[in-house]
Chain A
């Protein structure tokens, strides 16, 4: 009886899982399939390409445009992630540990920033960046990315810090650590899963951004991949760029997948078990 129920439950859950995966994966696989098609078969509506070709990939890596955009994307996203996580960690630590005047205000304002419609900031930012001469530069994108990623980082990280028993920090202090040592050697290693999770979220946010990338850049100097894709023309100006765009789309999902796979191993739950009475 019990076995029957579990088998049936398994079946039900399995079906549900398959449904979700199909729903999520079909567009991605379609793009991948398009990227392997020749221009002639591009619009044949077949899921599996009849003729496989790598021409599209050759095309995008031959044009300087895409490679340059890829470098910009990686650089800008990494710098923004690093700064946002470090700043966010310090802010979140303070929020979770200290009771300082204006704490509620800080948390409220950061939430406000996260919810603020980004599109309404585009023109002011454009004007400001032109005045400051950082329009169409790396910092010109990194700064707004940090601004919008910080609330996210602070929220995720303060949740993680709150889980770490305060006694550990007291113990470190009693053992002779300074505040900085206690944070670096005891608290930060324990918050590592949180730090990596936050890093992934922030990186994906920066990597996927299109709005700022298209409005705050004007040349290849700082244009990121999502923006560059929209300027794609293919090998020659008269060619249909669909295949190339699809190839580029596939290429830019790869770093995200690598990023997640790389850090996933470090996101070990239950790292804090055994610290205090378990």
Chain B
């Protein structure tokens, strides 16, 4: 067990592309850290550099206080679980799990004892004599994990280990991974492109974009206090709504009405280089049916009326999609998020508004509805660089803060 420190680690390829840029990250002993981001953000490259499968162009990587930049993977004493599982097809499950121990030249009895123990933890005992070809996807995944835990390495690296499983199994295996990590207390770095996995699994989440770290923090902090537009849009499902907003005489003109501004945000906007156009971000759960909001809360927010497009009843609450007029919010970050989501027009990109209202709301498709939203929870972003203007000392305080 050990801590892992990345000190200004960069990776560039001979053709000049920079895959990872100055990543600074300290992973404490026993911590579960998730690297997340859209494809091509450098998260897998970062993991491979920690593993030793890719060279580090510049910067320093330390495992347990020791510089390991030039060490071969086998000298780093870390285990890795691959997205493809990478089980050796010519070996049985037992031989697969024993492989790292045999390479470490342990005696037969110790090897057998360790394999049996790991197999018991992962409920693989009845499968030990089978070949990988005769296992289901979930079983293969467990064998791959077994092979990683069997030699008690300093750290686990997991490269999208669950993305080849079907949805139901993925949720199951998520808890298995989580329990296993807590049980063993081994430092773990986990790469995923799935923000749900990132939110549910890790102690801390590292969001990457274009080879650079965007924000590092516990999942809830990233959710509540996103540092920039990209983090705000990436974390959360359904994702945050983004609307175009124009600054005019100390208030904001948006498709949802005139948003009043508190002193703090106003001061930011008084600076000479302050942007005249902003992007307003509101999470779906910060909307509520205006009828269901009491007087006290009502004062902290703003109301607007819009036609209801679609109602999705989830039982516990309702996802209601509104059509709002007005200019689309546009920024490089939003386009990237849209491209990653595989959709030409991103749900939060304007036009459609996703809200999460109480189940009691009598909202009907095709009719207009008055909706309230919480001004203390909204975010304002600078479209040129994506910075969150409502963030003060790492805390997002909404638009009204003084």
Binding site for B on A (CB under 8 A): 165, 167-168, 170-178, 181, 185-186, 189-190, 270-278
Contacts and interface: CB of A to CB of B under 8 A. Distances in A.
A278 B140 CA distance: 10
A172 B104 CA distance: 12
Contact of A275 (B72, B89, B99, B157): B89
Contact of A271 (B80, B89, B99, B137): B89
Nearest to B135: A274
Contacts of A277: 84-85, 137, 140, 164
B82 A171 contact: yes
A173 B53 contact: yes
Nearest to A171: B86
A271 B83 CA distance: 20
Given A190-B90, A277-B85, A177 B132 contact: no
A260 B74 CA distance: 40
Contacts of A174: 51, 53, 73-74, 78-80, 157
Contacts of B80: 170-171, 174
B131 interface: yes
Given A176-B100, A273-B133, A274-B135, A170 B74 contact: no
Nearest to B85: A276
A177 B103 contact: yes
A190 B82 CA distance: 19
B82 A170 contact: yes
Given A171-B80, A174-B51, A178-B74, A275 B103 contact: no
Given A173-B74, A186-B88, A190-B89, A167 B82 contact: yes
A275 B73 contact: no
Given A177-B103, A275-B86, 4 more contacts: A170-B51, A274-B87, A274-B135, A277-B140
B225 interface: no
The 9 closest A-B CB pairs, nearest first, are A274-B133, A276-B84, A274-B132, A171-B86, A175-B100, A167-B86, A275-B89, A176-B103, A176-B74
B147 interface: yes
21 contacts: A170-B51, A170-B80, A173-B52, A173-B74, A174-B73, A174-B80, A176-B100, A178-B72, A271-B89, A272-B89, A273-B89, A273-B133, A274-B89, A274-B134, A275-B85, A275-B88, A275-B89, A276-B86, A277-B84, A277-B137, A278-B133
Nearest to B141: A277
Contacts of B87: 171, 274-276
Interface string B78-116: 111011111111100000000110011000000000000
A179 to B, nearest CB: 9
B140 A274 contact: yes
A206 to B, nearest CB: 29
Nearest to A168: B86
A165 B104 CA distance: 24
Nearest to B134: A274
Residue from A178, A181, A270, A274 with most neighbouring chain B CB atoms (10 Å): A274
Contacts of B85: 275-277
B73 A173 contact: yes
Residue from A168, A181, A189, A271 with most neighbouring chain B CB atoms (10 Å): A168
Nearest to A190: B90
Nearest to B148: A174
Nearest to B147: A175
Nearest to B150: A175
A177 B91 CA distance: 16
Contacts of A270: 133
Contacts of B51: 170, 174
Contacts of A272: 89
A46 B151 CA distance: 73
Contact of B103 (A168, A175, A190): A175
Interface string B130-164: 01111101001000000100010000010000001
B90 A173 contact: no
Contacts of A165: 84, 86
Residue from A176, A181, A272, A275 with most neighbouring chain B CB atoms (10 Å): A176
A62 B187 CA distance: 76
A164 to B, nearest CB: 9
B74 to A, nearest CB: 4
Contacts of B132: 274-275
A272 B84 CA distance: 13
Contacts of B99: 172, 175, 185
A177 B74 contact: yes
A175 B111 CA distance: 14
A173 to B, nearest CB: 5
Nearest to A174: B80
Nearest to B164: A277
Contacts of A172: 88, 99
A165 B51 CA distance: 18
A7 B87 CA distance: 43
A270 B133 CA distance: 10
A132 B85 CA distance: 54
A174 B135 CA distance: 23
Contacts of A177: 74, 103
A275 to B, nearest CB: 4
Contacts of B78: 174
B84 A167 contact: yes
Contacts of A278: 133
A24 to B, nearest CB: 35
Nearest to B89: A275
Contacts of A171: 80, 82, 86-88, 147
Interface in B62-79: 72-74, 78-79
